[in-house]
Amino acid sequence: MNPVDTGTNPVYTRYRTKFREFLKELASMPLQGFDEVVRMLEESSEPEFAAIYVSMISRTAGLWLVWEDYCRSVSSEFMGLCRDIEAAISESGTRIGGVSSFFNSSLKKLLVKMHADLSPGIVVPAWIITYSSFTGDKVVLHLAGLHPSEQLRRLPYFVAVLGTLDAILKAYLDYYLTKGSDFAYITAEYIYWEVAKPTTLFFDAVVDELSCGKCINTRKDLYELVLSALEENDTEPPHLSPKSYIASLSREVQRVLYRRLSSERLRAFQLGA
């Protein structure tokens, strides 16, 4: 899994700066308030729907790529596969002529809802803000009203969800690049870089700031698993169980975050002494 050149990415730099400022703000809170947010971090647990979001987003992206790969010019061998996808879209009330639009809007709606339900609101990608205002979702207003303790409670599992999604969607991208399927690769490139990466870049910013090597290794393990599954069968999205990866990542983020907050608190105390 080739790393992204985050060092020259201004969005990455902004995310990492905002996260660092968030930690310093927490560390400078009065004792009672700091104890409260740390307790929320210790009690942080993954909501059941975190894995559901990952499954739904990765499956939507996967079906879109199957369509682009096999159904643009359908051979008799894959006629049934493409009809199944078309039938599912027809049941949603979308015209078959708008398959790409259907998947694109479905993917974006899922990511917007995921932000509203899971994000700590430390950063919100520009396209999420624009799209949520277009659809009438009050994502920004909702996240802006979160208390710091709730932000911290949400942080470990949100970062874990982002890392899990990043691994899966990057595997899709690299697989279709190697396969040489033009339509599928162009679509995978759009999904990863234009739709997902402005969100999952927060994972990179957080784990780099916290020096979480285990987080990066867990993402790599999942990436390799998805890539292997696609190499065996790419006529359907891989059947994944993301829950264990989310749990592993969130526990590790929670551990290194607690260590970093303790360090920041001690530094703030020394400066104020």
Q: What is the mean pLDDT of residues 180-204?
A: 96
Tokens of 25: 């703000």
With left for phi above 0 and alpha for psi between -120 and 50, is residue 36 left, alpha or beta? Answer: alpha
**What one-character DSSP code corresponds to residue 34?**
H
Q: Give the rounded distance of the alpha carbon of 126 from its chain centre.
A: 15
Has residue 270 got a pLDDT over 80?
no
Token pair 């277009």 in the structure block, residue: 134
Q: Region 247-272: what's the mean pLDDT?
A: 86
Residue of higher predicted confidence among 85 and 184:
184
What pLDDT, in 10s, does the model give residues 35-94? 888 888 877 666 678 999 999 999 999 999 999 999 887 665 677 888 888 887 887 766
pLDDT digits (tens, 9 = 90+) for 120-178: 999 999 999 999 988 777 787 889 889 888 999 999 999 999 999 999 999 999 999 99
pLDDT of residue 97: 55
Distances (CA, A) of 227 to 56, 169, 177, 184, 245: 18, 10, 12, 15, 16
Task: Give pLDDT, residue 39.
Answer: 81
Interatomic CA distance for residues 126 and 28, integer angstroms: 29
Provide the pLDDT confidence category of residue 6 given band limits of 50, 70 and 90.
Answer: low
Closest CA to 215 of 200, 228, 226: 200
- Tell me how far apart the alpha carbons of residues 49 and 210 are, in angstroms, rounded to a whole number: 26
For the record, the structure tokens of 263 come out as 């360090």
CB-CB contact of 253 with 219 (8 Å): no
CA distance 63 to 114: 19
DSSP code of residue 194: I
147 residue type, one letter? H
Q: How confident is the model at residue 273 (pLDDT cuts 50, 70, 90)?
A: very low
pLDDT tens digits along 86-132 = 887 887 766 555 888 899 999 999 999 999 999 999 999 999 999 99
Measured distance CA(196)–CA(190) in Å, rounded: 9
- In 3D space, the residue among 129, 132, 53, 61 whose CA is nearest the CA of residue 100 turns out to be 61
Q: What is the pLDDT of residues 10-39, one digit of tens each?
A: 999 999 999 999 999 998 888 878 888 888
